[in-house]
């Protein structure tokens, strides 16, 4: 959809959610990620101007591990209501808006690009806080009441592993290290005594960071119910350390800081074996997602050099899996 048509339809769509006279201004595409587009715009009102973000799902088939945009918006809203740092959603798109699936939320200023967060001097102070802040945010997410989230699927370890395996075998690509990892995970499944909300993609890259640290948590589209240790493991996956391998938490912090803050903020007692298990599963999952991305290109569903290139990142995840198996 071109920008002018999008702007026109967005102005109509926002009428029920925005009080008084307004117009949409400075609509700009920020990123066309693989799962969704992110647009920024200004809402001009008599009372002043404010900036917002429009998240729009891509047309076509939904990435099968993800939830739809309406569900994502509902989960994010519920998490915000329970004290989690995420953007307030002001409008969920309806079919009559003719914009596809998506929602509009407050723009929260800060940096999301991991390499900048890890290397730029202005985030020096923030970097020292981030691991503990992640621990507190994850503890908050895992304490969100789940009775209000009956529409989220149970993706605790056994169903999640089965789903990931079916996803992998569906591509017809043979990666023996992955088969070995699937076997190991099947033999070493960790018991979990409590089901919580799991963000599912809590990592460096989905955090809006300012000079003080985390300003907001983004990308709730992989949210599900399951083992809270999954989020801790995923946050430590080597791919999200962006070269800082000696700082296991997102490339910015230590496990001790993460675990201590998590436990003292009311999170469950950290089971390090379970975190290790989920780190292996997470590394494998990222590898399978790379395979999926490249399949979208190879099948002709969406041709893109970016999706082609990501197929050659699979070997990175194979190497990280071997390092994880070597570690214990």
Partner 1 sequence: MAGNRPNVSELVESVREMMEYLLLHKLVDKSQVYHTRVAVNVLKIVERELAQGGSFTQLELQSLQHLLGMSGELSDLNDELVARINQGEFDRENTELTAHFLRTVTAKVAIDNPEYATYKNYLTKGELSHC
Return residues touching partner 1 (CB under 8 A).
Answer: 29, 32, 174, 176-177, 179-180, 183-184, 238, 241, 243-246, 248, 304-306, 308-309, 312-313, 315-316, 318-320, 322-327
Q: Confirm if 134 and 258 have CB atoms less than 8 A apart.
A: yes
In this structure, the chain runs to a length of 328
Tokens describing residue 207: 């955090």
Min separation Cβ 238 and partner 1, Å: 6
Min separation Cβ 184 and partner 1, Å: 8
Among candidate residues 241, 245, 315, 325, the one with its CA nearest the CA of residue 280? 325
Q: How far apart are CA 232 and CA 228, in angstroms?
A: 7
Those residues with Cβ within 8 angstroms of residue 225's Cβ, 6 or more apart along the chain or in another chain? 146, 149, 152, 153, 154, 155, 156, 195, 196, 197, 198
Complex with partner 1: residue 8 or 245, whichever CB lies closer: 245
Min separation Cβ 328 and partner 1, Å: 9
Min separation Cβ 2 and partner 1, Å: 15
Min separation Cβ 291 and partner 1, Å: 14
Tokens describing residue 231: 């989020």
Complex with partner 1: residue 43 or 274, whichever CB lies closer: 274
Q: How far apart are CA 190 and CA 276, in angstroms?
A: 10
Q: Confirm if 118 and 246 have CB atoms less than 8 A apart.
A: no
Min separation Cβ 95 and partner 1, Å: 28
Those residues with Cβ within 8 angstroms of residue 202's Cβ, 6 or more apart along the chain or in another chain? 134, 137, 138, 141, 217, 231, 234, 235
Min separation Cβ 223 and partner 1, Å: 27
Give the ranges where 190-271 is alpha helix by DSSP (H).
229-235, 255-264
Complex with partner 1: residue 158 or 309, whichever CB lies closer: 309
Q: Confirm if 225 and 71 have CB atoms less than 8 A apart.
A: no
Complex with partner 1: residue 209 or 321, whichever CB lies closer: 321
Complex with partner 1: residue 73 or 177, whichever CB lies closer: 177
Complex with partner 1: residue 220 or 286, whichever CB lies closer: 286
Complex with partner 1: residue 102 or 251, whichever CB lies closer: 251
């Amino acid at each position: 959809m071109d920008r002018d048509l999008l702007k026109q339809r967005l102005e109509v769509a926002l009428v029920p959610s925005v009080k008084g006279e307004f117009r949409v201004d400075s609509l700009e595409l920020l990123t066309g990620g693989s799962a969704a587009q992110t647009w920024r715009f200004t809402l001009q009102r008599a009372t002043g101007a404010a900036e917002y973000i429009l998240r729009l799902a891509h047309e076509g088939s939904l990435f099968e591990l993800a939830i739809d945009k309406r569900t994502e918006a509902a989960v994010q809203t519920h998490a915000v209501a329970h004290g989690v740092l995420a953007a307030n959603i002001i409008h969920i798109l309806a079919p009559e808006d003719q914009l596809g699936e998506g929602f509009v939320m407050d723009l929260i200023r800060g940096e999301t690009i991991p390499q900048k967060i890890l290397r730029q001097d202005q985030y020096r102070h923030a970097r020292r806080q981030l691991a503990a802040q992640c621990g507190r945010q994850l503890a908050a997410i895992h304490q969100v009441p789940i009775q209000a989230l009956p529409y989220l699927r149970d993706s605790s370890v056994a169903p999640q592993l089965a789903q990931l395996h079916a996803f992998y075998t569906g591509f017809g690509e043979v990666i023996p290290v992955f088969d070995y990892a699937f076997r190991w995970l099947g033999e070493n499944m960790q018991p979990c005594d409590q089901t919580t909300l799991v963000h599912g993609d809590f990592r460096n890259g989905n955090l809006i960071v300012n000079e003080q640290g985390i300003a907001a948590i983004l990308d709730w589209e992989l949210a599900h119910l399951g083992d809270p240790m999954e989020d801790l493991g995923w946050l430590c996956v080597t791919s999200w350390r962006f070269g800082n391998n000696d700082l296991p938490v997102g490339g910015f912090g230590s496990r001790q800081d993460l675990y201590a803050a998590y436990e003292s903020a009311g999170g469950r007692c950290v089971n390090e074996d379970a975190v290790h298990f989920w780190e292996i599963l997470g590394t494998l999952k990222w590898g399978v997602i790379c395979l999926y991305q490249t399949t979208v290109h190879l099948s002709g569903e969406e041709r893109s050099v970016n999706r082609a290139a990501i197929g050659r990142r699979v070997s990175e995840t194979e190497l990280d899996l071997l390092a994880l198996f070597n570690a214990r």
